[in-house]
Amino acid sequence: MSKIWFITGSSRGLGRSLTTAVLASGDKVAATARDTQQLNDLKETYGDNILPLKLDVTDNQQIHQAVEETLRTFGRIDVLVNNAGFGIIGAAEAFTDEQVQSQLDTNLYAPIEVTRAVLPHMRKQRSGFIMQISSVGGRVGNAGLTMYQAAKFGLGGFSEALAKEVAPLNIKVTCVEPGGFRTDWAGASMTYAPNIEGYEESVGKRVEYIQSGQFIPVGDPDKAAAVMLRLATEPTPPVHLVLGSEAIAILEKANADRDAELQKWKTVSLSTDAEEGGADKFLNTTFGKTYK
């Protein structure tokens, strides 16, 4: 039996590749986008197997309307993919209030609300798969990406906790964490904070690199879509799925650095246990003074 997918951000980038792959496989898609005209060609090719839905994911009312329309049309939702999102670069203090709110609204609050809208139906049918499109930037922080990564770190934590929460209901959750892929994430979709002095060596270099055109991602969105299509059939999918050699290299280095830091400060960490004299003894011998 074919699956019913609900995919946000279906008109561009990875969402477009995934929507096309799902339809080509014979499954059906509720494909959401701000501009559904960008889905006209898929509608012409796949007919009633695609339900284009106009959706601004920051509008909670539209979210629930889109979910209800999907259920009226297809009867169920088997796979939810929270893909809609965009990036922003700048120094943390430089972002406008609107830019901060927009990042959190689109990249964190929206996938949480879409998930919450779909969950009651998956709970009743005692099955479902939720894929959250995060980023390796949801596991590793980098200068210039504070707001984007604040949202993605939050999405990763939400997804990891949710996976444990809904496991008894036969609902699976995977946080998909790509590295750089050949979409318009770093191109037309990228926005920037106002430039301020003092961050030339950290944020400035990243902005310069992105805007120079030298950043050529190694990831292929069509290959990522094929992986996600197969992922939906996995009986025991991973909670975190990293995509791309770049992301693997970044994460392996970050994990090694974190482990080294953990071991270096492990004695300090253990010294905070509620054991009489434990902390005093450590602080006296390490810092040479009495802790009060």
**pLDDT 10s digits, 241-269:** 999 888 999 999 999 999 999 999 999 99
Per-residue pLDDT for 290 more than 60?
no
- Which run of H or E residues covers position 138? none
Q: What is the pLDDT of residue 206?
A: 78
Domain boundaries, the chain: 4-243, 245-292
* Structure tokens belonging to residue 114: 């879409």
Read off the pLDDT of each residue in 20-27 and give the average, rounded to a whole number.
Answer: 97
Q: What band does 187 get if pLDDT is binned at 50, 70 and 90? A: low
Instruction: Given CATH 3.40.50.720, say whether it is the number of domain 4-243.
Output: yes
pLDDT of residue 292: 43
pLDDT of residue 118: 98
Q: Is the pLDDT of residue 29 over 70?
A: yes
Residue 155: name the closest of 119, 184, 115 by CA: 115
What pLDDT score does 159 carry? 97
Looking at residues 11-39, what average pLDDT do you find? 95
Q: Which residues are catalytic?
A: 134, 148, 152
Residue 287 has pLDDT above 70, yes or no: no
Separation between Cα atoms, residue 160 and residue 164, nearest integer Å: 7
What mean pLDDT value characterizes the chain? 90
The arithmetic mean of pLDDT across residues 69-90, rounded, is 95
When pLDDT is cut at 50, 70 and 90, the band that residue 284 belongs to is: low
Mean pLDDT on 88-109: 94
Beta carbons within 10 angstroms of residue 266's beta carbon: 10
Of all residues in the chain, the percent with pLDDT exceeding 90 is 72
Q: Look at residue 158 in the predicted model and tell me its pLDDT.
A: 97
pLDDT value at 174 more than 90: yes
Task: Give the model's confidence band at 28: pLDDT under 50 very low, under 70 low, under 90 confident, else very high.
Answer: very high
Q: Which of 52-61, 181-190, 243-252 has the lowest average pLDDT?
A: 181-190
Q: Answer whether residue 151 shows pLDDT above 60.
A: yes
The pLDDT score that the predictor gives to residue 245 is 87
Query: Residue 119 and residue 106: Cα distance in Å, rounded?
Result: 19
Judge whether 117 and 63 are in contact, CB under 8 Å: yes
Report pLDDT digits (tens) over 200-234. Answer: 888 877 777 677 766 666 778 899 999 999 999 99
Query: Residue range 103-119: average pLDDT?
Result: 97
- Whether residue 83 has pLDDT greater than 60: yes
Whether the pLDDT of residue 95 is over 50: the answer is: yes
Average pLDDT of the residues in 128-135: 96
